[in-house]
Amino acid sequence: MKPVRETPRILHPPGWPQPKGYTHGMAARGTLVFVAGMVGWNPEGQFETDDFVGQARQALQNIVAVLAEAGAGPAHVVRLTWFVTSKEEYLASLEDLGAAYRAVMGRHFPPMSVVEVKALMEERAKVEIEATAVIPE
């Protein structure tokens, strides 16, 4: 087992294909930050759009705002879990979704899972994203 360094280290087993838009794993040591599932509403709790990409962008911005409260940023994220109400809508918007992701999170691609769900607790929500981050010691 390789030693864990002070910043998140990407885990990529030899011979595995390079993933697109995420990484297979990360190792990190430090203060853990857990961000609840964020939906695409503004800081006042209002949805400004029913557009999937627009909601995803806002959910990511909400994650960044919570991370900032802990002194963290997008580069500290070591895991994202996406819950989407439509696999088809998610797949159809990958190009625009990628652009929105990079605009908010930069070129930091932690391990991610995407799960299609029947519904989310907020009626208008199309996406909910959970995040885990590690602030180095």
- Using alpha carbons only, how large is the chain's radius of gyration in Å? 15
The predicted pLDDT at position 4 comes to 41
The predicted pLDDT at position 1 comes to 46
User: Helices H, strands E: what count in the chain?
Assistant: 3, 6
- Structural domains present in the chain: 26-136 (3.30.1330.40)
% residues pLDDT > 90 (the chain)? 87
Query: Rounded mean pLDDT of 90-105?
Result: 98
SS3 128: strand
Query: Has residue 79 got a pLDDT over 90?
Result: yes
pLDDT band at residue 137 using 50, 70 and 90 as cut-offs: confident
Q: pLDDT tens digit string along 63-77?
A: 999 999 999 999 999
Cβ-based neighbour number of residue 20 at 10 Å:
8
Amino acid at 78: V
The encoded tokens of residue 43 equal 């800081």
Q: pLDDT tens digit string along 1-46?
A: 444 445 688 898 999 998 888 989 999 999 999 999 999 999 999 9
How many whole angstroms separate alpha carbon 90 and alpha carbon 24? 20
The encoded tokens of residue 76 equal 């500290």
- Chain center to CA of 79: 7
The predicted pLDDT at position 6 comes to 59
Cβ distance 62 to 45 under 8 Å? no
